Amino acid sequence: MTRATTMLTVLAFAALPVLFGATEAEAQVQDDDFFTTAEREGFTTWRTGVRDAELEARFTPGREYTVFAPTDDAYRAVPAQQRNLWQTDRAAHRAAVGHTIVEGRLTAEDLRQRQYVTTIDGERLPVRTEGDRVMVGDATVQRADITAGDGVIHGVDRVTWPATAAERVRDPVRKN
């Protein structure tokens, strides 16, 4: 291959996103991982929770995931007893954050076709629709289909707890 042919090939590939309606910056954004995407889109508390719960390793390279990330406003609305539990009970913290992650890329349209999804910890979350709204567990999807290179994020309006962590909130002395 000549140098001119090589340069033309490189330029052609660089132009593909523009030709198909995406700028180079937009193409890069779609390649960002969950953590970069979550921070850029304002899910900073969720991102911090994943890091603090040491769940980053659960995101296996080459696999896709769906995340139901509570908005920062949703985290601020959590009662003090639950927030304190995250700081004192690491297992409850990990369970609550793990409860937001599902294997596989599921768009809002995909969710409309399901009755439930299964979290990475094996818990089934019910999925239902009411008009245009999609609900997962007790949370309503407020921002759907935020693309990350390794899946999709749906911003939800509340923090939901798996049954084991919810029991700890009701009875903080009991350690299941």
**Is the CA virtual torsion 87, 90, 94, 96 positive or negative?**
negative
In the predicted model, is pLDDT for residue 155 greater than 50? yes
* Residue 18 within any structural domain of the chain: no
Q: What is the mean pLDDT of residues 92-115?
A: 92
* Structural domain range at position 145: 26-170
* 19-37 per-position pLDDT tens digit: 344 443 343 445 688 889 9
DSSP state of 118: E
pLDDT of residue 164: 57
Total domains in the chain come to 1
Q: Is residue 92 part of a domain?
A: yes
- pLDDT interval class at 163 (50, 70, 90): low
On whether residue 12 sits in a domain, the answer given is no
Rounded mean pLDDT of 149-155?
A: 94
CA-based radius of gyration for the chain: 19
Contact 153, 41 (CB under 8 A): yes
In a domain, 113, yes or no: yes
Q: Which residue has the tokens 């985290």?
A: 75
- Does a structural domain hold residue 15? no
Tell whether 3 is covered by a domain: no
Are residues 176 and 168 in contact, defined by beta-carbon separation less than 8 angstroms? yes
Local confidence band at 128 (pLDDT 50, 70, 90 cut-offs): very high
Q: Is 1 part of a structural domain of the chain?
A: no
CATH number at residue 75: 2.30.180.10
| Residue 83, in any domain of the structure | yes
